[in-house]
Amino acid sequence: MNLQDDDKPYDDINITPMLDLAYVLLVIFILMCTASVAGTKVNLPKSSNTPASLAKPKTKAITVNNEGHVFLDTAPVTLAELEQRLNTQKSITPDFPVVVRGDNLTHYQEVMQVLDVLGRVGLTQVGLATKSGK
């Protein structure tokens, strides 16, 4: 037995344990990615209608054209009719969103009259529609 052979440093790195670890991690990754939720399949019952508390309120659109005519959704209305219809809608759905659309040739005062009606009704979710400048 030669003492010089025992004192010699290793020239090779044993990569077998590192490869074993890499294969184990690869198998775990594949299993986790393809795992599905275990459970019994059932046919869920269907409800007859959506509960009012879960239904999202429909957005109302108020349009003022370049001639000063006011439309609620697509129906022409006067400012008094607009206020009455919005009050009716507010009694059904207290906090529904409203979008005000004004033609670019509409006088500012006519849009302000519509905003005054919305303020009297007490609506807080009001948006002004614009077109992108591009």
> Is there a domain that residue 29 lies in?
no
Q: Which residues have CB under 8 Å from 78's CB, separation 6+?
A: 70
**What domain range is 121 assigned to?**
60-128
Q: What is the pLDDT of residues 106-130, one digit of tens each?
A: 788 888 888 899 888 888 888 887 7
Cβ atoms 101, 61 nearer than 8 A: yes
Q: How many structural domains comprise the chain?
A: 1
Q: How far apart are CA 101 and CA 126, in angstroms?
A: 11
Helix, strand or coil for residue 100?
strand
Q: Give the residue-averaged pLDDT of 82-99.
A: 86
Q: What is the pLDDT of residues 3-58, one digit of tens each?
A: 555 666 777 788 888 899 999 999 988 888 776 555 556 555 676 665 555 556 68
Please give the pLDDT value at position 97.
87
> Is there a domain that residue 71 lies in?
yes
Please give the pLDDT value at position 61.
85
Q: Which residues have CB under 8 Å from 127's CB, separation 6+?
A: 97, 98, 99, 100
- For residue 95, is pLDDT > 60? yes
In this structure, what CATH number is given to the domain that contains residue 117?
3.30.420.270
DSSP output for 62-88: EEE-TT--EEETTEEE-HHHHHHHHHH
What are the start-end ranges of the E strands in 5-124? 60-64, 70-72, 75-77, 98-102
Please give the pLDDT value at position 24.
93
Cβ atoms 64, 100 nearer than 8 A: yes
Structural tokens at position 70:
């006011």
Q: What is the pLDDT of residues 60-89, one digit of tens each?
A: 888 888 888 888 888 888 989 989 998 888
> Is there a domain that residue 43 lies in?
no
> Is there a domain that residue 91 lies in?
yes
> Is there a domain that residue 49 lies in?
no
